[in-house]
Amino acid sequence: MGTKRQLAILGSTGSIGTQALQVVAEHADLFEIYALTAHRNVDLLIEQARRFSPEAVVIADESLYPKLKEALSDKPIKTYAGSEAIAQIVEAQPIDMVLTAMMGYAGLYPTIRAIKAGKAIALANKETLVVAGELITRLAYEHRVPIIPVDSEHSAIFQCLAGENNNAIDKIILTASGGPFRTLSAEALRHVTKNEALKHPNWKMGAKITIDSASMMNKGFEVIEAQWLFNVAPEQIEVVVHPQSIVHSMVQFQDGAIKAQLGLPNMKLPIQYAFSYPHRLPSADPKPRMEDYMTLTFERPDTERFPLLGYAYDAMRRGGNMPCIMNAANEIVVDAFLHDRIAFTDMPRLIARAMEQVAFVASPTYDDYVATDHETRCLTREWI
């Protein structure tokens, strides 16, 4: 692969970010860290900076900047703070690829700046395409920037399409684990706790995405993301529940053939593939043995008990700023649920209200997205 690839990791202290740094450590001859950013976890950011010696680190929470600067004062590492600093650092000339692993809407603006600067994007922040898919895909085309998906499902589809030479897709089949509440009744869902929701049966993820998985909002986001990544119509995207989480997703072609990508529920493989594409690198991690998975099952999702998946399809078909409204409301209600302010079943009710009442914009600009996000958050907080 030639000289070391220079990476910026946005959200280096989260689940994706920490696993990305494991990949870099295992392939230090191929990758080098140019920049690391974090929201508030300054202690881990300091530890990562001392280990990987990046050119620069950024802490989003400006109140933590003195601690960051002092802790790294003996190192030749530039230190910055604030969201604007994150957006600026991605434009640094030596950077080859930006891994966007920041949580939620906050990942949108720095991703736009990175694309305009001509940086390859390893996309782990699904909200970027959910909120502003039309804008992001247009910018990527204009600036000739590749967007390589890091989500396990979209990486699986990306891998299934490799070498297909634009053969026509009949449909994309996204797999969902079903989360911890797959078999619960609608009545039981009214009484689940945040601690129960945070116990995902297969994956180890951050709190917000784990709640999204339990509500199936996460799968709804992935449906919208797939539309933009793979240029398919809503009716070409199918979701199936696959409790074993071994088949990460599938593609059915026009001749009826289905290709699937299988692997253990581990994010390091899709992260590594995004960093090294089109090459595959060796991994010392455990590999699946098919004899350990004699039974792989698939079932239809229940959008009566988990209506947020259906709302995502509605938002995708409506287009405009509707996915932005849905995402902003979701970020507020998930935070409220995690702080014991609402019940699990209140989340879809509040999101539906936002989708009905926030002003719809059919052809939004970036400023429209910003205004929509702000309006939705304010209204949803009032209703809570």
238 DSSP β-pair partners: 173
What pLDDT, on the 0 to 100 scale, is given for residue 336? 97
What are the structural domains of the chain?
Answer: 5-149 (3.40.50.720), 154-318 (no CATH)
Buried b / exposed e along 271-297 (16+ C-beta atoms within 10 A): bbbbbbbeeeeeeeeeeeeeeeeeeee
Note the pLDDT of residue 203.
Answer: 66
Cis amide bond preceding 278, omega within 30: yes
- What is the pLDDT at residue 188? 94
Q: What is the spatial distance between Cα 163 and Cα 152, in angstroms, rounded to a whole number?
A: 19
Q: Which residues pair with 253 in a beta bridge?
A: 169
State how far the Cα of 243 lies from the Cα of 220, in Å rounded to an integer: 17
- H or E stretch at 252: strand 247-253
Ramachandran angles phi, psi of 237, nearest 5°: -115, 120
**Alpha-carbon 364 to chain mean position:** 22
Closest listed residue to residue 218, CA positions, set 131, 347, 308, 156: 308
Mark the ranges of the chain whose per-residue pLDDT is less than 50.
none
Question: pLDDT value at position 205?
Answer: 73
Residue 104: predicted pLDDT: 80
Q: Could you tell me the pTM of the whole model?
A: 0.92
Nearest by Cα to 152 from 198, 200, 95: 200
